[in-house]
Amino acid sequence: MSRFLPILLTAIGGVIVHAAPAVEASTFTVTETRTYTLLIETILIEPTTITLHDCATTVIPSTTVAVPSTSELPSASSSAQPSTSDHSHVPSPGVSSSVVTSAITASASIPISVSRSLSASASAPASASVSASVTGSPPWSSAISSSSILPSHSVSVACSAAASSTVPVPSACPTALTPLNSTITQSYKLSTTLPGLPFEIPQSYGGYISVNRDDPTDNRTFYMFHTPADAAASPDDIIFWFNGGPGCSSLEGAFQENGPFQLPFYHENGTVQPRLNEFGNNIAAHAVWVEQPGSTGFSTAGKHIQGLNAVAHDMVGFFVNFFRTFPDLRGKRMWLQGESFAGAMIPYIADAIYRDETLLCQGINLKGIQINDPSWASDNFMQQLAIFPYAEIHQEDLILNDTQLEVCRARAAEYGLDTYYKDNLKYPPTGPLQLPANWTADVYNIYNDIVSNWNGAHCSSVYNIHFTCDDPLADPLGYPLNGPLTYTNFINNVAGFKEAIHADPSVAWGECTADIWDDIGEPLPADSVMPNVIEKSERVIIANGAYDVLLMGQGSELAIQNMTWSGLQGFQDGIKTDLITSQGVRGFSITERKLSYVDFSYAGHMIPQDDGEAAFKATQFLIGTIPTL
């Protein structure tokens, strides 16, 4: 078993670089008293078993809840307040429990309080996540409308902090780690005045978090930028954002898309004009942007990454050490968001977390994911089968005259591509989608034909068909719309900026790094892990910007209809709901069985950058701040 190693703080050019090692604790301390408040949205008519799960012992002994007889229940129209009806006690070594139930009306709830003392337990930090559920199928009062009854309901509640004494670690949490001290946490704290910005930013944190690697020769550290939740945001949720590539920095997301401030993609006279971001993720919840895989941006790695499962392994190690570094965030409802190739990585990360229930003991409380313009399905879906219907819709944007479009249509028809989208986007689908019998990508690449014609006629960007190549200094982070990456960018050019965000100033930061990856290794999520992720999540969003001609929404729609989850293939009804903001209708959404597809009508590949308000509304829906899109 590994020993508890000291945290390494290395001074590099005046900036503190944090390397939190992989640590396991064989024993540590806790004696605690907790109070759980469980809200069950139902009426109990007969004794029902309540089972509580937490990070301490995994399962608190089941408690039978005594409830009033049917004759004692108030009518559905009663306005009486809940009243105490009974107490029950189930003894267990080292555990004391009491349960109070109340009879209620259909419009109220049953508060159940459980007080419990533990003399031996794993560490459970303040605000650790606890879940509870009702099992069984008790009969319902005939006076109650069935539409207002939930026979089984799960909620998350909080537990109090603990006093300390030395005890063994139970097997339920064999690798539970103690939080780092507050001095370590505070060393990540940034100044609210950063070089190059003419305003103060919200309090933020930055620096390196180490990754738990089995290979001691591969010392990986991921750079992260963290902005706590705004006063008006949800204090109980945390969003981790990832950009794609693979190898493109999530600081693009932090500084241009959904971070606390933006370096606008377009600006006058070739000068950067930063602005605060009213639609940043930090306005919705606690927000973190992570540069990964290793060697992306400021992050480090000794070797190339080996596949999507390896990406997931590294991110789990990062999360463990992140929550040790920021213990106040442990147990928060956690959401993963990202774009482009992050659409391949995020589902694998989520799947790895869901398959390891002990990670809740480390504070990793994943609830769902969102992938924008994602590389989540094969290029057949995302490009070849999607491009012709896309060209029909965006003929003017792609600068295709009628003759050119008809030439493309005729060529597409030879290989069964001209009507594929219309013929196969059915609700519900009639069966697994089959590629046209007489077509393969090697025979005819319709995507290249159309995109090459478009770029030849008008220099534009596949990331947004409305972006042109002649805009001055289009990207202050150094990635031209068409052309090679440049290291002439805001992060490298502004004196003192790297030091101010606790990044290694000796690194020449680039928005994307090519040489980090040997092989994807695993099937893309649509053909592998995505169904499990949807089923385990509260909500999953797959989103596309209509102006993106790199990874098109028509492809995501087809891939969804070809995927089976929760026992059914694809969306069954396909009912579209308008996505409305203060600017009017900005797209549409379809939601069924915990999966939402969202099409943003006025955005390209970088949705939060192009339509911040609509993207923010989707984020609010993802984390449950608003009930619908």
Q: Looking at 469-520, which runs of residues are DSSP E strands?
A: 517-519
Helix (H) or strand (E) segment spanning residue 408:
helix 402-414
How far apart CA 374 and CA 308 sit, in angstroms, is 15
User: Does residue 60 contact residue 116 with C-beta atoms inside 8 Å?
Assistant: yes
| Site of tokens 């028809």 | 413
**Token pair belonging to 337:** 């968001």
Phi, psi of 19 (to 5 degrees): -130, 95
Catalytic residue among 340, 461, 537, 556: 340
**Token pair belonging to 436:** 């046209």
CB atoms under 10 Å from CB of 577, counted, come to 14
| Site of tokens 């059914």 | 568
CB atoms under 10 Å from CB of 20, counted, come to 24
CB atoms under 10 Å from CB of 507, counted, come to 16
| Site of tokens 């129209």 | 77
- 340 carries an active-site annotation: yes
- 89 carries an active-site annotation: no
How far apart CA 620 and CA 629 sit, in angstroms, is 9
**Token pair belonging to 128:** 């650790």
Catalytic residue among 97, 537, 605, 610: 605
579-616 as b/e, with b when 16 or more CB fall inside 10 Å? bebeeeebbbbbbbebbbbbbbbbbbbbbbbbbbebbb
| Site of tokens 């990793």 | 364
- The residue type of 483 is G
- Angle (CA) 448-452-453 rounded to 5° is 120
Q: Looking at 89-172, which runs of residues are DSSP E strands?
A: 99-103, 110-118, 129-134, 154-158, 163-168
- The residue type of 279 is F
Phi, psi of 327 (to 5 degrees): -65, -25
Among 545, 548, 523, residue whose Cα is nearest residue 308 = 523
Helix (H) or strand (E) segment spanning residue 324:
helix 308-325
* Paired residues of 111 in beta bridges: 39
Catalytic residue among 548, 599, 610, 611: 548
Among 620, 480, 597, residue whose Cα is nearest residue 541 = 597
Q: What is the spatial order of strands in the sheet that 539-545 belongs to?
A: 205-210, 221-227, 286-290, 237-242, 333-340, 365-374, 539-545, 595-600, 584-592, 577-581
How far apart CA 292 and CA 100 sit, in angstroms, is 48
| Site of tokens 């949490």 | 173
How far apart CA 496 and CA 393 sit, in angstroms, is 47
How far apart CA 506 and CA 479 sit, in angstroms, is 20
User: Does residue 102 contact residue 82 with C-beta atoms inside 8 Å?
Assistant: yes
Name the burial class of residue 624, with classes exposed (0-12), middle (13-18) and buried (19+) by CB atoms within 10 angstroms of its CB: middle
User: Does residue 485 contact residue 479 with C-beta atoms inside 8 Å?
Assistant: yes
Residue count of the chain: 629
- 160 carries an active-site annotation: no
Q: Which residues are catalytic?
A: 340, 548, 605
